[in-house]
Chain A
Amino acid sequence: MSTLLEVRDLSVRFGQTTAVDGISFDLEKGASLGIVGESGSGKSVTCRALMRLLPPAAKISGSALYDGADLLQMPLPQLNQIRGKRIAMIFQSPASHLDPLMRIGDQVAETLRKHTQMRGQEIRDEVLRLLDVVRIPDPARWARAYPHQLSGGMKQRAMIAGALACQPDLLLADEPTTALDATVQKSVLDLLAQLRREQNLSMIFVSHDLGAVARVCDDLLVMRRSKLMESGPVSRVIDAPQHDYTRKLIASHPDRLTLRPVAEASTGAPLIEGQGLRIRYGGRSLADLIAGREGGFVAVQNADLAVRPGETVGIVGESGSGKSTLARSLVGLVKPQRGTVCFDGTPADPTGKGRVAYLREVQLIYQHPYEALSPRMTVARAIAEPLRRHRLCPPREVKDKVADLMEQVGIPTKLADRYPGQLSGGECQRVAIARALAFDPKVLIADEVTSALDVTLQAQVMDLLLKLQKDRGLTMIFISHDLGVIRRLCNSVIVMRQGQIVESGPTGAVFDNPREAYTRQLIDAIPHLHAGAA
């Protein structure tokens, strides 16, 4: 095998900050290299620097020899003969990387028009063939469609078709599956792995997800804070990591995570219960009235759930499954059209009169750490807000109570006067948890709390939640799209799809013996840390 790409001392600086610091690696022809790292590690910048796709403010140094020519030095017209033709690229969010006003077929054809002699009917035929290669059904129809008419997975396939159009030697994939649902993610990964084999495509695959990388790559680079930590064959790095950080990264993966034991589920009467919940969004418009339709959109259909004291129940589902809506109905953010919520055996109305008393017992923590805190409130004031507003403790004890809560969730006292913008994502999430704990609630609902966090932080937050549950005897409802996380954290699990509960039961039983095909599909899509799947 010969070397396709030889990168030496690649550095990227934006003004004072160094985004990539002296990275070197080789890529053999036909090989597939994964670059893994957490947000801000410089992995995407590395990938984009190779194609010089960075904003003008970026200063790139070093060399990237491709076929004997330096990609970083060659004049732009020459580089444009390589971009799209010899080296192609796909991106994280296909929705924004496609031109909304251009038909899919035309966007795929763009590279063909630029780099080949093909014209007219020849191009149209080739586009249909390419769409077929990436397994888009009925290519003739979708070629005429506009991006907004395609699903997320289809858009990414169309991007891939466009990238493959000129049969490039190298495909740069920048987090291509991150924005997709787990099952779609798996099918796109499978497609990439298959294309590698069939077309002898070399690939650089950038991802924060070690499991995804393990699925398509043979070699691995681990990056952290703009530096290269470790490199080597995937199997070697995963099984025998040499660097401390790599070890931590692997240990944080849900597959390898060592958590404190999940509390035993009690057998008592349910503490919080939802019966026959049906939630509809949007009203009935005039057109609906005339057509005799119900109108709006049913987000949750006839859902039952019961959570016993001290238990952790997981709700899983893909985007749009209604899992978050269900959670929100339990804290009164949406009013169910039908069905009842019971707390401690008595009917409760989270939207009505006794709402304040009810909410003292049931608190929800949100997904996006930065968004969940008002940007204009300091940490201490945010935590103190419920204490003061609801007089949960005498005014002169507020300060001590805040300090106590901060200590419980592990935020250093010196951060008390900082604003959310000055904190890291993990710290913000801890503040949000502390704020919820100010109520001393019995039930804590965690809505995708870990999905916006990097794996190592995710592991820390999960550990914190388990610790709090144990210390305080909390009952938890844990909502996530990530089955790997749910499996490690929950006593029982509820699987949702398109607003309906598909399956529920004790975690072990559901994962080992799923009754429904859909559940099996979800379980199969969990990225595992087995090396060399490709």
Chain B
Amino acid sequence: MFVIGVALVLIWGLIAAAAPLLATHDPYAIDFAAILKAPGAEHWFGTDNVGRDTYSRVVYGARLALYIGLLGVVAPLVIGMTIGLVAGYFGGWVDTVAMRLVDITVPFPFFVLVLSIVAVLGPGIENYFIALALVGWVGYARLARAEALVLRQSEFVLAARTMGFSHGYILLRHVLPNSLSPIVVYLMTDVTLVILFGAALGFLGMGVSPPAAEWGVMIAEGQTYISTAWWISFFPGLAMVLIGVGFALIGDGLARMLRIER
């Protein structure tokens, strides 16, 4: 299963990289002669209301999806891990402040908070990334802190302290490498969610703006024609499922291999 996950993610990576080669049409080319065409030999996944080729748009959409998913988790990961490890390892007021911050962020449903931040900053991927950095670190911080709390009491960390090593060195060389497993598993799930929420923003008109070949935007464009031209929304959604399953399977496989979950 883990292998299938890796394969899926690799395939999507290839699709994104080779999009110009794989696409059969220009994803932005409007063709009024081929409006709302059903899937067929010329247009594999059909065309939309202005005659753009859905297949080519799905292929190009992989670039945006991977870009959003992989870049969107970087800031939360780095911020969250730093805060969590430092808070858990040192305890004291750093921990108190960090945990109070977490406490007041937790009650907000994640997507609602992202939405209202995007509402303030305005639509766009950059603002989505900022919102993720402001909110998304919480999950990583909680995990990293929980690990650091255990590790700081563990004998090999105590031993490192009695060997006179500095706290910075111990955090980097002993605490960090040993706290990674649950964080990596969470990271995989988070990539899936970041892609999903990014597309949801696009769907609601607050993410990537049309006419970009972004899956959420495409699903929204197809919404009006759902009863006559189902393919416009169907294929981008299917693509999201397949990319999401890829990352989720990797996370699931890792969780089992690292014995975090039975």
Residue positions of A touching B, CB distance < 8 A = 328, 331-333, 355-356, 359-360, 363-364, 366-368, 371-376, 385-386, 389-390, 432, 435, 439
Contact = CB atoms under 8 A, between A and B. Distances in A.
Given A371-B155, A372-B156, 7 more contacts: A359-B164, A364-B159, A366-B158, A371-B154, A389-B165, A432-B159, A439-B163
B178 interface: yes
Contact of A372 (B155, B164, B178): B155
A406 to B, nearest CB: 17
Residue among A332, A363, A371, A390 having the largest count of chain B Cβ atoms under 10 Å? A371
Contacts of A385: 163
Q: How large is the interface on B (under 10, 10 to 19, 20 to 34, 35 or more residues)?
A: 10 to 19
Residue among B159, B177, B178 having the largest count of chain A Cβ atoms under 10 Å? B159
Given A356-B164, A360-B164, A372 B159 contact: yes
Contact of A331 (B162, B169, B178): B162
A363 B162 contact: yes
Contact of A333 (B156, B161, B169, B177): B161
Interface in B189-236: none
Contacts of B165: 389
A371 B162 contact: no
27 contacts: A331-B162, A332-B161, A332-B162, A333-B161, A333-B162, A359-B162, A363-B162, A364-B159, A364-B162, A366-B155, A366-B159, A367-B155, A368-B155, A371-B156, A372-B159, A374-B160, A374-B177, A374-B178, A375-B156, A376-B177, A376-B178, A389-B163, A389-B165, A389-B169, A390-B163, A435-B163, A439-B163
B155 to A, nearest CB: 4
B43 interface: no
Contacts of A368: 155
Interface of B, helix, strand, loop or mixed by DSSP: helix
Contacts of A328: 158
A376 B164 CA distance: 20
A399 B28 CA distance: 63
A273 B49 CA distance: 86
B178 A375 contact: yes
A333 B177 CA distance: 22
Interface of B: 154-156, 158-165, 169, 174, 177-178
A355 B167 CA distance: 13
A376 B156 CA distance: 11
Residue among B164, B165, B174 having the largest count of chain A Cβ atoms under 10 Å? B164
A374 B158 contact: no
A239 B15 CA distance: 77
Nearest to A356: B164
Nearest to B156: A374
Contacts of B159: 364, 366, 372-373, 432, 435
A391 to B, nearest CB: 12
Nearest to B153: A371
B153 to A, nearest CB: 10
Contacts of B163: 359, 363, 385-386, 389-390, 435, 439
A432 B156 CA distance: 9
Nearest to A447: B155
A436 to B, nearest CB: 8
A436 B174 CA distance: 17
Nearest to B177: A376
Nearest to A360: B164
Contacts of A375: 156, 178
A439 B163 CA distance: 8
Nearest to B161: A333
A333 B158 CA distance: 7
Contacts of B162: 331-333, 359, 363-364
Contacts of A432: 159
